[in-house]
Amino acid sequence: MARKGQFKKNATKKSILQRKYNSTAKHKKDTAKRNTARRISGLKVGDKREADHKRALSKGGSNSRKNIRIVSRTTNRKKGNK
């Protein structure tokens, strides 16, 4: 396994870029917000449903209960393709 800050010898360019992005402060903050939304909505690990923000966090939405709804995974993924 590669040490922190290093990449495997057979790592692709895409995986290297993804690892760099995942370690940014913005990505870590966004992940924490999504985890908080799941916790607020009462979803458990492995649940097939997801917490959906009615108004996106990037557009001024919040993690309040009134801004979160529980939807199926396919419904939530379709929302982003508009």
Query: Is the pLDDT assigned to residue 81 strictly greater than 80?
Result: no
DSSP secondary structure letter of residue 2: P
User: Residues 49-80: pLDDT tens digits?
Assistant: 999 888 887 788 888 899 999 999 899 888 77
Q: What is the pLDDT of residue 61?
A: 83
Cα torsion through 39, 41, 45, 48, rounded to 10: -160
Inter-CA distances, 38 with 33, 50, 60, 62, 78, Å: 9, 7, 18, 13, 19
Specify whether the backbone of 58 is left (phi greater than 0), alpha (psi in -120 to 50) or beta: alpha
User: Residues 3-36: pLDDT tens digits?
Assistant: 665 677 788 889 889 988 999 999 999 889 889 9
Backbone angles phi, psi at 40, to 5 degrees: -65, -40
Q: What is the pLDDT of residue 71?
A: 93
Query: Is the pLDDT assigned to residue 40 strictly greater than 60?
Result: yes
pTM for this structure?
Answer: 0.68
